[in-house]
Amino acid sequence: MYRIIYAATRSIPEGSITYEWETMADFLSQKLGEQITGAQVHQMTIVLKDRGFIKGDFTSRYGISMTPLIDIPEYVLTNREELFPSQRVSEKEASNLDRTSSSLPNKVFLVHGQNENIKHTVARVLGKLGLDVIILHEQPNKGRTIIKKFEDESDVAYAVVLMTKEDIGYKSGRENEAKARARQNVILELGYFIAKLSRSKVCALYEDGVEIPSDYLGVLYISLGDGDWKLKLAKELKAIGLNINLESIT
């Protein structure tokens, strides 16, 4: 059953509704006939807010209180393929999925911006899992151009993309709508690895408050503010067949 709790406190504006990500995920999973995760619902809400369909009043990592301007369940059911792309893969993606750790060692490419603390923290976690972490600027140049070096070093099993708050963006003349964004190279490399490896082998770790690109629906996003982000990431890595030890980070 769709469990919506109508707000009764003065802290939440009249007309708002509240729900937890996992509660909405369970409801949509039943309606759509496929498994929808709380992380996907979180991302869906961001997209709907960007399109002006909801007015978010309060958001946390557990759920949201919001004022809907449309019938959200009906909109989701009508636009299911756009909001929750089918997990069936194309022939190109299938060929990528067939590549195993026997042909590709436990190599993970770490895409990052200029936040050195977060970069080193995530790199240490990946290292503890027994993975070979590829950080582009740490690899020898060998006389290669930057783009050639990137292409050569991107032959990996998985990509972890760090979306940290480093740039500010807004539509022309709308400075009051400025939002924190990841650096442009990070967004570019996110798209590159989605195309090269398929969505199932790319995970974006984002800093709370950073703008999430709405065009990349279907990509796994994990908040760095989530106390379980290390375990969630490790489970995704293990799910694609990488040889890691989950106990090393618990």
Q: CA quadruple 170, 175, 181, 185: dihedral positive or negative?
A: positive
**Residue 109, beta-bridge partner list:** 134, 159
Q: What is the dihedral of CA 195, 200, 205, 206, to 10 degrees?
A: 70
User: Which tokens sit at 167?
Assistant: 């740039």
Across the beta sheet with 63-68, what order do the strands follow?
A: 5-6, 17-20, 63-68, 54-59
Q: What is the pTM of this model?
A: 0.61
* Contact predicate 233/128, CB 8 Å: no
Instruction: Give residue-wise pLDDT tens across range 46-57.
Output: 777 777 777 765
User: To the nearest whole percent, how much of the chain has pLDDT over 90?
Assistant: 26
CA dist., res. 11 & res. 40, Å (int): 27
Q: Which of 22-31, 187-196, 201-210 has the lowest mean pLDDT?
A: 22-31
Instruction: Give residue-wise pLDDT tens across range 5-36.
Output: 323 233 444 556 666 777 777 877 777 777 77
CATH of 91-249, picked from 3.40.50.2300, 3.40.1160.10, 2.40.50.100, 3.30.1240.10, is: 3.40.50.2300
Note the CATH number of domain 5-83: 1.10.10
Residue 243 has pLDDT above 90, yes or no: no
Same fold, 5-83 and 91-249: no
The predicted structure's pLDDT at residue 218: 60
Element (H, E) at 179: strand 179-181
> How does the average pLDDT of the chain come out, rounded?
77
- Name the residue with higher pLDDT: 33 or 58: 33
- Give me the amino acid identity at 99: R
φ, ψ at 203 (rounded to 5°): -130, 130
CA dist., res. 26 & res. 35, Å (int): 8
**For strand 220-223 and strand 202-206, is the pairing parallel, antiparallel, or unpaired?**
parallel
The predicted structure's pLDDT at residue 181: 84
- Name the residue with higher pLDDT: 144 or 13: 144
Q: What size, in residues, is the chain?
A: 250
Domain borders along the chain are 5-83, 91-249
